[in-house]
Amino acid sequence: MGSPFLLLYSLRGGYSEYFLDNLCCCRAHRYYSRRDRSAGMTNGQQVAVTALEQEALNIIEHPWGSNSDNGEWIDDSQSRWGLRGEPWCGCGADYIYSLAGVNDHGLCHPATWVIAQRADALGGCRPKGNLHPGSIVLRDPFHVEILIRRRPSGLLECVGGNVNQGLRETVRDPGEYRIVEPPGLRDIYPDSNRETILIYWFEDPRLDPERYGGWSTRAAREKWIKTHIPPDQLDMVRRIRVNKPAPYAIDVYSGERWKWGPWRSKDARNLALLKVERDYGRKMRPRSKDIPATGDGLIELRRPRKLAGVTSGETTT
């Protein structure tokens, strides 16, 4: 699991189709509705945020190693190609593009060698400048994932299907992967007429954090956080207001997960909330707020867990 301070987005255990259908009155793969998609982002950022949202729902094979999940997300991704029970990384990438509502210009395919062939037929689809979120990260002929972002070190943060029998966050070496950028990935996503987006998350109200502050200004609080809280522990910090002359304070949840999310869909948040309430045996507190509707901002909110180095030792078949 790594450091206890890391905010882990995956939820343990899977959802049955019956569980999902009866909670949100929809098919298992309807994790968010089209009206909930955010604005003010590029097509590629839309794909990246969608990939992170889907990964957070703990999509795993069951039975383990079957390349199937009893009619839910994995099977839905393969059914688009008339398949079932096959290695599904290509189908997963295709399905993420479909859920995001972004045109892949025919690049996605269950077979990675076909993706490479199609990219070559379109002139190579090489990135124009800096790597852009939502690009296809291809290791021909073995595996394909979705790019979330490139680290300053050059390593690639991705989300990939069929990684250890699930849809998981990974870190890849760019020397081993080809980056394929579908045409139009940097274009503004069509629904771009809003300045804010409503996001949803939930919290555990039973925890007892340690309080620091207050400070008289937000800037003073942020300076203290930057000086005293290590970067890999920032997910355990909650900024709060208190009723005193120095109103800006923080709560620190040392070693305990206190927050799950965010999602852009209330239904998706509620699915995860009910699963966690069942696992923890207590009620969680649902929350929501408006944030600026920018792709970079949403990717930062849904950023992958801080995996230390290149993902290794996993199965992708």
Please list the pLDDT of the chain residue by residue as tens digits (317 residues): 333 222 222 233 333 322 222 222 223 233 333 334 444 688 998 899 889 888 877 799 999 999 999 999 999 999 999 999 999 999 999 999 998 889 999 999 999 999 999 999 998 898 877 899 999 999 988 999 999 999 888 999 999 999 999 999 999 999 999 999 999 999 988 765 566 778 888 999 888 889 998 899 999 999 999 999 887 777 788 899 988 889 999 999 877 788 887 787 788 888 889 888 988 899 999 999 887 766 565 666 555 455 667 876 667 76
Token digits for 80?
A: 């688009």
Determine the Cα–Cα distance for residues 225 and 217; give it in Å rounded to an integer.
13
| Residue 127, CB-side half-sphere exposure with 13 Å CA sphere | 17
Determine the Cα–Cα distance for residues 307 and 50; give it in Å rounded to an integer.
20
Determine the Cα–Cα distance for residues 136 and 152; give it in Å rounded to an integer.
19
Determine the Cα–Cα distance for residues 231 and 92; give it in Å rounded to an integer.
31
The 10 Å CB-count burial string (b at 16+, else e) for 119-129 is beeeeebebee
Q: Which of 157, 180, 177 is nearest to 169 (CA)?
A: 157
What is the structure's pLDDT at 198?
81
| Residue 45, CB-side half-sphere exposure with 13 Å CA sphere | 23
Q: Is 40 helix (H, G, I), strand (E, B) or coil?
A: coil
Count of helix runs (H) and strand runs (E) in the chain: 8, 11
Distance of CA 304 to the CA centre of its chain: 7
Which letter does DSSP use for residue 50 in this model? H
Determine the Cα–Cα distance for residues 24 and 130; give it in Å rounded to an integer.
40
Domain borders along the chain are: 17-193+297-301, 197-294
